[in-house]
Amino acid sequence: MEELTIIKNKKKLTSFNYILLLFFIYAFIGWLLETSYAVYNFGHFVKRGFLYGPICPIYGYGAVILVSFMGKYKDNSFKLFIYSMVIFSVFEYVAGYALDALFATKWWDYTNDFFNLNGRISIFYSFVWGIFAILFLNHIHPFIEKYINKILEHTSYYLQIGILYLLTIAYTLDTVFSIIRYLL
């Protein structure tokens, strides 16, 4: 009986920590997708992204935006599609502009795509972001979240927090060293 009580009262991650965990998971999945795409296109490993490590933060931020702010439109595919097209096109444009302005380097270029804006965004990818938001919120995230929650149920709270701290420290150091690399 006492063991059952302990399980029921098990500490859980705060909402912030859970969102932080989602950021790292989806940033890593984004890196895997980018790397796989590059291997397919070039036939060999190509380092993708801004950071040294195996994450693409833009994917993590995108997933957090979808889960945190766009989830309320999950049942209205039209609104989710339109809002996601606009929000992620603006997000992609601002991120592309910032990376170009700060580091004089382009991580993506849609200059040759139909109806693009300064090569940072294009109508095709805006459309893709809208479709992807619907697929992500209705299928991908629920599938992944189910497994995340199963793992969290069987993992000590203190181990979860320890891993989040280590990931945050590693991400912060990676960001600092990556910025230094591109500025020098």
In-domain check, residue 183: no
Identify the helix (H) or strand (E) that includes residue 116: strand 116-117
CA distance 125 to 70: 18
User: Which 3 state secondary structure label does DSSP give 156?
Assistant: coil
For residue 65, what pLDDT is reported?
95
- The pTM of the full predicted model, rounded to 2 decimals, is 0.87
Residue-wise pLDDT tens digits, 78-107:
999 999 999 999 999 999 999 888 888 888
In-domain check, residue 32: yes
In-domain check, residue 144: yes
Give the domain range for residue 93.
14-176
Q: Position of tokens 């993992």?
A: 155
User: Which 3 state secondary structure label does DSSP give 51?
Assistant: coil
Q: Are the CB atoms for 29 and 57 separated by under 8 Å? A: no
Residue-wise pLDDT tens digits, 32-84:
998 998 899 888 888 878 899 999 999 999 999 999 999 999 999 999 999 99
In-domain check, residue 65: yes
Residue-wise pLDDT tens digits, 115-157:
999 989 999 999 999 999 999 999 999 999 999 999 999 999 9
- Residues 6 or more apart whose Cβ sits within 8 Å of residue 122: 110, 113, 114, 115, 116
For residue 42, what pLDDT is reported?
86
The total number of structural domains in the chain stands at: 1
Phi-psi region of 119 (alpha: psi -120 to 50; beta: other; left: phi over 0): left
First to last CA, the chain: 62
Query: pLDDT band for position 31 (50/70/90)?
Result: very high
In-domain check, residue 2: no
In-domain check, residue 1: no
Tell me the CA distances in angstroms from 144 to 2, 10, 53, 148, one per residue in order. 32, 22, 22, 6
